[in-house]
Structure 1
Amino acid sequence: MEYIPSRICFILLVSTLVASQAPPAWVPLAVRSPYFSAWNNASSPLLNTPNFWNQPGVLGWTGMIRVDGMAYEWMGGDQPSFNSTAVLGWEVTPTRTIYRFQAGTSMQVNITFLTPIEVDDLVKQSIPFSYFYLDAVSMDGQTHELQTYVDISGEWASGNRSETMTWKTTQTDTSTFHQIQLSSANQYQEIVDQAEDTTTYLATRSAPGVDSVVALLGQSRQTFAATGALAGSIPQSSSSISDNGRFPVFSISVDLGNILKTTESLMWAVGAVRNPVIAYTTPLGAVQNRAPYFFVQYQDVQSAIDAFLQDFEDARNRSITLDTKILGDAAKISPALSSVVSLSARQVIGATDVTVSQGSDGSWNASDTKIFMKDVGSSGRVNPVEILYASFPFFLYINPVYAGLLLEPMLEFQSSSQYTQAFAATDLGTTYPRATGNNRTHSQGIELSADLESFPNMSNLLIKGIIGVQAMANISQALGNSNDSILFSNHTQSLLQTWEASAIASVGTRVLNTYGDENSWTLAYNLYADKLLQTGLVNQSIYSSQTEFFKGLSSSSDAQETQFGMPIDSGSSSLSASGIATQADAAWTVFAAATMTDPSVRDGLLQPIYQHIVSNTSNFPYSKVYKLDSTGAVISGRASPALGAFFAPLALSLPFQDIVVPQSISMPSSATTKSIVGPVVGGVVGGLALLSTVVGALLFWRRRQRRQYPHVEKLGVNQSGLRPPTITVFDLSAAPGTASQIDSSVEPSSSSNRNQELLAAAFSSAGPILTSAKYREAMRARDRLQAISPVSAHPVTTPTTNSDSSPTSPASGPVAASPTTSGGLPEVQGLMTEVESLRRAVQEMRAERVEAPPSYSQ
């Protein structure tokens, strides 16, 4: 049995709650990277071969235990070839999937699949391995002869079963392992989403009674079942992955002898290594083949395997501690939340690769760390902004450093000459793992469309952009530039007044889907950014009335809610022609739930999501978008990292911290300000929020790395963290530029007046583009702001128009669209203009201001 310390008894209570409900359709077994993602059917694990995330029954993986000469299979799908074990129960925690079996009448067996989430150690997190382990105890008080057997097949190596694989078996005093790879690896290629350049491993600690062999499928398992020993090894070292059922499998057996119970867990590890893991185009245009980060500490894969195996007990303890924290924090909010976070955590971090670059001398550049994310289950893009936005609550909760490392390559790309578009990039490439950058032309100043809808003046979309402007004010304040902060904040209020006048129903009960459409409604999930960033823009009465509306909607005659939830709004893409809800978005629903002021309404939004997860109609791992009819069928986002959104309520509970500007920087005395984790860290709110979030991550970087990365000193990295004592300033403007290296000891130039002049120019140079009453009122508000601004006495020059900057002429660019242009109504265009103006101002500000970003106090 797995003996659990008394300090985590609470987790058993939560697990009992989960186990008392119907099991989820699918559970994670080993989910560690975009190409290492094994799942199984939760309700009948013995009758199904484990799955790759998008293909049923394609990963050969078998486990058996032999008790007193009788073999019982606990995974593999070979029933009825072998005796059945009876499933006694199951549990799922954020890092573990646990099954309890009964083998015959004499032994109870626990099988645990553990994929650690290493919140404080990038080296450990980057090792692409997962544990599974067995504990057994006699049920009759008598000793019994036990032997165990596990194997995997070459199906882990490729989605093309006709390809040729090669293998090697290694046995040292420390470890015993098989490794499998294609005879001709196809770098950065996929077949049915499986990578063509993976080396798969099955490993265990070397010990007396441990044996390993490569044998043909039928002979290997049948020989063990009959004799308790392994079959003879086949002579060759290569073959087809699958050859009419006669393909080889890679097995390990352990003879435990005559025992009453296992005195320690019997552990194996399975892994999938790719090196390099990603092709990244640098700001200079060179293609950089980046390696798994663990190479900064281990000279080869075998060393990493040895370390991973020896770390098992400590890794399990760390995982139990993390499980306890996550489930404890979630249970304080809602039992329904405890369920969904357990089912999404491995899925989110399992879509990422932690990488490092290599210098020209062959040494690893430990200060150059980047994390890349695949849009698993949808587009396959690299670091897609909208998926980062959805997943960020998870990363902010476990460690904000991870959030910064995900954003860094995006910001680096946008600051380079490789990117020439007028708006922030949507991703780093269209096909993972090629992070070539995406220079595709688009007009998404904020998004301009959302959830497959492109109505003008979408209330939920516009509030995201307004929050982004306020995020810039918060950043300015954190940097001690209070005049800039006041100007941004005042302009935010002008935009907000228009939003409040047009986006709220006349009776004040809900946020409308589009301005002025009194027959519409929306979940308004982007209000979550206001809560997370603590901008305080949205009046509390709006949250309360929105909550009351959904409380009434769930019981009204025109309710669109089904057993699996409700659509995100009353827009056409969410409803059929008959007005019946057709699809829901799990990520955005949890964002909206986190903003509800009534716990019962919040839970009413969360529970149907769990209901969909546990329904038998969910035929693939947990999805982002699914049908709301009785089928609950997946539409997109199966196994998506976007379900990091399930941590949205937890991210709101992050503690307050002080922002402190380094003493070496000469700043006003007001530079220290009270804040929380959220204000400058939060999610990606359009293009500006990329800036907001990376600054927040940098604020955390120094504090978290000094305290939480035990491997830093071992690697010879300086005490301030993984970065050298220089700061990379990223130009977020559309104009081509390069990141500049600036010594952190440089005193800032005197630029307050210049910054104010630039901001005034930004807010005054849009020109007479639109002429509605609301636009004219906005212009009058702008004039009032200029009248009280200290820059009013300074002459300004209207920037000239070019292909790489925000246009100021009605004849150029999306901001010059006429009121009759699709998507070009005043409020949308006004906000787009301001976003572009802000970005242009930020470009100039950064050219003037070179001081280091502040860091959080310890």
Structure 2
Amino acid sequence: MLSYPLLLLAFATQSLTLTPDANGNSLPSYSPARPPAVPLAVRTPYLSAWSSTYNQGTLNTVSPIFWTGDALGWTGIVTVDGISYNYLGNDLLPLTVAYDASYSNFTFLAGPVNITASFFSPVLPKDLCRTSIPLSYLSTTVQSTDDKPHDVQFYSDINSAWVATGEDGVMNWELFRNGASINGTGNVTVAPDTMYSWIYEPGSPLPFGEAADRPRWGNVAYSTQPMGARNFSFQSGPALNIRYSYVNSHSLANNVSTAYNGTWWTEAVFAYAHDFGPVSKAEVRYTVGLIQEPIIRYLTQGGVAQLQPWWKSCYGDKFPMIKIHWDDFKVAQQLAGQAERQLASDVKEFYHVSSPEPAPDTPSPVQSPSTWRASALPTQTILPYIDGSSDAYGFLDPDNFTGLGVPDASESDSYYAIVALSARQVMGSFVYAIPPTVSSCNTSSPGSGEPLVFLKEISSDGNVGTLDVLFPTAPFFLYANPEILKYSLEPIFQLQEGGFYPNPFAMHDIGGSFPNATGHISGDDEAMPVEESGNLILMSYAYYKFSGHSDWLQRHYPTLTRSASYLLAFSKVPAAQLSTDDFAGRMINQTNLGIKGIIALKTMSLMSRMYPATSTTTNADADAMGGVTDAVVKAYYADWERYGIAPSRDHTLLAYQWRSSWGLLYNIYLDKLLNLGVVDKAVYAMQSRWYARVSQLYGVPLDSRHHYTKSDWGIWAAATCSASTRKMFVTSIAYWLNNTATRFPFTDLYETIGDGGYPRVPDEVTFKARPVVGGHFALLALLRTGQTARSEAGDTTGSLFVVNGTNALNSTEQEGYVSFDVESTLMNGFGEPRGETA
């Protein structure tokens, strides 16, 4: 008998016009770039499914993976005229891939039809109800290529790997029709709008527990409708039996088996089949997700609360939410189309280039501004680069210090490829919860009030709400919706102001293990005193500058003063501390850390004029704030220049005492973004020239100790540089995307030499799927303040905070702080505010 995989596929004899490999075989074509992994269903830290492109892997040659790299069972088969083709699973067909901020579309040729599998996770940061839904869409379309009807059936299943089991490995499941359970053998309703949902959960759930970063509680939901099929069927049971049965009969048995254990081919799968008969075009849709009620453990004055997900305040129970999400598909497409056009337009506006023709509201395939592929670029566009030995650095042509990058590539198209890939990864790192004082189901006013938002420090420490992870992520929210930044900072303030943190500086995180935001009452969090104190102050002030809302800032001003008093004492000459780049270890006198503290003190000097000492501010805090003046900040900065700039006066040092060192001075980005004027323009220009002298193939190393870099800090640094150096940073990262040997979701930490793989360090740090890629939006955050690619490095005057052509500086400009028209600003970005339920 034939082996199982051969039963599933008859190879297509036609081929698409794609780039061949050395053996003449067709390779996938990617637009706007080739990501290491393509996002499929990415909505939360636990709903995070990807398709790796490593070693030319495609959607139908390798299994989808969880962000950790572990396999997820998700199968899709289309049968055309009796021949079955895997489009999601393990086999080979010619393929093109296109993505934007919300979509990943895969197009295959299968005999006489094209198959398009469209994975849709809407990125709508202004729409909190839709954003909080933990479900994602998959639409599969068959289109005849010969204008003739063909007999078409669809099959899809998921396995039990989307949630972790207990030690016994048992799963329990049911099939629901319009919210009512079907037990055993069910009668099929073929009405097009009948809602079917497979729901499964661990047999022994452990709320708020994890196993290998997967949750041990919650309901996995896989849903569909008949959608006009002449025959619709379902079945659960052993994978091999069900798939074999479908390939032979093109339908399923309409039975719900009982719970059992199984592995490999005997594992449980939950399947649907749609039979459309002879058609020239047909489409099916599925939704997949993980529904958890409650979603977060949170320390409060009344004890540890179990918080419900925010979507319950919008939709109530899970079955209404599933149905509303399904019915909302067309509206969500329209909103995502609008958001995508806005993103593409904003990228073009930043670079002052002509906007492309607008994409349709429901792009399929994705309408990207252009296709940027390194394989299409002539090799001579890379500047002369001399490879060293296997254990030495490569180096530039000693007569040419203009950097590497890809000079002939469009910078705007390269930047679009980066931010479009980053958007879902950012949004998929957060969960949205109902505060403990709010009703869990406010149906009279859907989605009213404000959520608490919790970040998972994915793939590094697994902490909750880590400040130095939120900090590099912040440009995304400053661009897309500053309110989410506030909702993410609020739990940190609540725990510190509730007396749950004993240290005199800002917390590192609000919980050592996601999803347990239970604080650090003994102050035993990872200590980054200057780092986190600066982060808390700078993000809080940035929120005020981008929202114009001063009341929230004033409410937390006493807490900010305590962090400021620490910075006043310890930021000018930092002790041996960790920075956010903690994988590099502790270091004394960090130049980049020192300037962060000084810039944060500048914002506190501005706030001290906005908010005089209050009854909630202690005498010590008031005394400290009395010391935070512009004169003190200027004096600190003068010392910083004296300590932190190399004797050669051509670059800053990594550490004051280390005269041969250098590093990315990314923390000065906040000085430029917030128009603070702390850093001398000559320093911006000096660093811009220096980066081009030390750039490697895939960008500028993070510092002189290693040849790895971080893409988020690279874009932060790029935002402070001249046009040519900024382009070098941006096109180097895009070039890396097309050539990297990494295999998991977008890593922010990689080698700038060789194959662009994961860092070659003893601990083998492998970052993946982290929200810090929100830092790639640093250029678009500048756009929100009126700055564009035409701005010179370090120029933070004149055009800042101009909205819709109107200079919005107010009467307090002379005092050093500005605001701008909130309503007109929030009209831009991703999505529209959410009013009613769909």
TM over 0.5: yes
Matches within 5 A, 1:633-672: 633=758, 635-655=765-785, 672=811
How far did residue 273 of structure 1 move? Answer: 0.9
How far did residue 247 of structure 1 move? Answer: 2.3
Q: Deviations over 1:276-296 (max 9, x none)?
A: 1110001x1511111110111
How far did residue 324 of structure 1 move? Answer: 2.2
- CA separation of 1:101 and 1:702: change in aligned 2, threshold 3 A: closer
Instruction: Tell me what 1:569 maps to.
Output: 703
Q: Which amino acid aligns with 1:36?
A: L
Instruction: Tell me what 1:302 maps to.
Output: 319
Instruction: Tell me what 1:775 maps to.
Output: none
Matches within 5 A, 1:35-74: 35-42=46-53, 43-56=57-70, 58-74=71-87
**Given the alignment of the two structures, is residue 350 of structure 1 paired with residue 371 of structure 2, yes or no?**
no
Q: Deviations over 1:286-330 (max 9, x none)?
A: 111111101112221000011000010111121122222223323
Q: Deviations over 1:345-389 (max 9, x none)?
A: 111110100110355976559535100000001000001111000
How far did residue 133 of structure 1 move? Answer: 0.6
Instruction: Tell me what 2:284 maps to.
Output: 266
How far did residue 36 of structure 1 move? Answer: 0.9
**Aligned-pair RMSD on alpha carbons?**
3.3
**Given the alignment of the two structures, is residue 29 of structure 1 paired with residue 40 of structure 2, yes or no?**
yes
Moved more, 629-638 or 66-75: 629-638
Instruction: Tell me what 2:93 maps to.
Output: 85
Kindly name which structure, 1 or 2, has the bigger radius of gyration based on alpha carbons.
Answer: 1
SS of 1:357's equivalent in the other structure is coil
Instruction: Tell me what 2:239 maps to.
Output: 217
Q: Deviations over 1:515-547 (max 9, x none)?
A: 264422221010111112211211222111211
How far did residue 162 of structure 1 move? Answer: 5.4
Q: Deviations over 1:90-141 (max 9, x none)?
A: 112111111111111x101211111011222211111100011122221111
- CA separation of 1:501 and 1:358: change in aligned 2, threshold 3 A: closer
Structure 1: runs of 5+ lacking an equivalent = 1-16, 555-560, 576-580, 660-669, 682-695, 716-858
How far did residue 45 of structure 1 move? Answer: 1.7
**Given the alignment of the two structures, is residue 122 of structure 1 paired with residue 128 of structure 2, yes or no?**
yes
Structure 2: distance between partners of 1:533 and 1:616: 34
- CA separation of 1:290 and 1:704: change in aligned 2, threshold 3 A: farther
Structure 1: distance between partners of 2:463 and 2:84: 45
Preserved CA contact (<8 Å) 1:471 1:680: no
Structure 1: distance between partners of 2:422 and 2:168: 33
Higher relative contact order (CA 8 A, sep 6+): 2
Preserved CA contact (<8 Å) 1:168 1:180: yes
- CA separation of 1:299 and 1:474: change in aligned 2, threshold 3 A: same
State the TM-score, normalized to the length of structure 1.
0.70
How far did residue 671 of structure 1 move? Answer: 8.0
- CA separation of 1:705 and 1:629: change in aligned 2, threshold 3 A: closer
How far did residue 161 of structure 1 move? Answer: 8.6
Instruction: Tell me what 1:279 maps to.
Output: 297
Structure 2: distance between partners of 1:286 and 1:703: 39
Matches within 5 A, 1:777-816: none
In the alignment, which of 694, 700, 710 is matched to residue 553 of structure 1?
694
Instruction: Tell me what 2:208 maps to.
Output: 188
In the alignment, which of 90, 93, 98 is matched to residue 105 of structure 2?
98
Count matched residues.
642
- CA separation of 1:248 and 1:680: change in aligned 2, threshold 3 A: farther
Q: Deviations over 1:729-784 (max 9, x none)?
A: xxxxxxxxxxxxxxxxxxxxxxxxxxxxxxxxxxxxxxxxxxxxxxxxxxxxxxxx
Instruction: Tell me what 2:255 maps to.
Output: 233
- CA separation of 1:500 and 1:636: change in aligned 2, threshold 3 A: same
Preserved CA contact (<8 Å) 1:478 1:671: no
- CA separation of 1:654 and 1:416: change in aligned 2, threshold 3 A: same
Instruction: Tell me what 2:719 maps to.
Output: 594
Structure 2: distance between partners of 1:107 and 1:401: 46
Matches within 5 A, 1:125-164: 125-158=131-164, 163-164=169-170
Structure 1: distance between partners of 2:165 and 2:700: 36
SS of 2:453's equivalent in the other structure is strand
Instruction: Tell me what 1:461 maps to.
Output: 593
Q: Which amino acid aligns with 1:54?
A: T
- CA separation of 1:327 and 1:710: change in aligned 2, threshold 3 A: closer
State the TM-score, normalized to the length of structure 2.
0.71
How far did residue 159 of structure 1 move? Answer: 6.1
Structure 2: distance between partners of 1:643 and 1:360: 32
Structure 2: distance between partners of 1:459 and 1:206: 62
How far did residue 177 of structure 1 move? Answer: 1.2
Q: Which amino acid aligns with 2:711?
A: A
Preserved CA contact (<8 Å) 1:166 1:182: yes
Q: Deviations over 1:789-821 (max 9, x none)?
A: xxxxxxxxxxxxxxxxxxxxxxxxxxxxxxxxx
Matches within 5 A, 1:473-622: 473-478=605-610, 488-515=629-656, 517-554=658-695, 561=696, 563-570=697-704, 574-575=705-706, 581=707, 583-598=708-723, 600-615=724-739, 617-622=741-746
Structure 2: distance between partners of 1:338 and 1:213: 42
- CA separation of 1:589 and 1:244: change in aligned 2, threshold 3 A: closer
Preserved CA contact (<8 Å) 1:353 1:371: yes
Matches within 5 A, 1:732-811: none
How far did residue 232 of structure 1 move? Answer: 5.0
SS of 1:85's equivalent in the other structure is coil
Q: Which amino acid aligns with 1:44?
A: T
Q: Deviations over 1:623-660 (max 9, x none)?
A: 2223445351252321111111111111111146989x
In the alignment, which of 451, 455, 458 is matched to residue 369 of structure 1?
451
**Given the alignment of the two structures, is residue 167 of structure 1 paired with residue 297 of structure 2, yes or no?**
no
How far did residue 479 of structure 1 move? Answer: 5.3
Preserved CA contact (<8 Å) 1:182 1:197: yes
Q: Deviations over 1:411-453 (max 9, x none)?
A: 1111111111111111001100000012425764313332334
Preserved CA contact (<8 Å) 1:374 1:382: yes
- CA separation of 1:703 and 1:605: change in aligned 2, threshold 3 A: closer
Preserved CA contact (<8 Å) 1:176 1:205: yes
Instruction: Tell me what 1:720 maps to.
Output: none
Q: Deviations over 1:693-729 (max 9, x none)?
A: xxx9xx96999699987545779xxxxxxxxxxxxxx
Structure 1: distance between partners of 2:87 and 2:656: 57
Preserved CA contact (<8 Å) 1:213 1:230: yes
Q: Which amino acid aligns with 1:101?
A: F
**Given the alignment of the two structures, is residue 445 of structure 1 paired with residue 584 of structure 2, yes or no?**
no
How far did residue 19 of structure 1 move? Answer: 3.0
SS of 2:649's equivalent in the other structure is coil
Instruction: Tell me what 2:382 maps to.
Output: none
Instruction: Tell me what 1:663 maps to.
Output: none
Preserved CA contact (<8 Å) 1:510 1:546: yes
Instruction: Tell me what 2:119 maps to.
Output: 113
Preserved CA contact (<8 Å) 2:144 2:281: yes
Structure 1: distance between partners of 2:255 and 2:495: 51
Structure 2: distance between partners of 1:589 and 1:652: 15
- CA separation of 1:361 and 1:492: change in aligned 2, threshold 3 A: closer
Structure 2: runs of 5+ lacking an equivalent = 1-27, 179-192, 352-411, 532-576, 614-621, 760-764, 787-799, 803-808
Instruction: Tell me what 2:514 maps to.
Output: 432
**Given the alignment of the two structures, is residue 386 of structure 1 paired with residue 468 of structure 2, yes or no?**
yes
Structure 2: distance between partners of 1:18 and 1:470: 49
Structure 1: distance between partners of 2:528 and 2:652: 23
SS of 1:33's equivalent in the other structure is coil
Preserved CA contact (<8 Å) 2:174 2:256: no
- CA separation of 1:194 and 1:480: change in aligned 2, threshold 3 A: same
Preserved CA contact (<8 Å) 2:101 2:424: yes
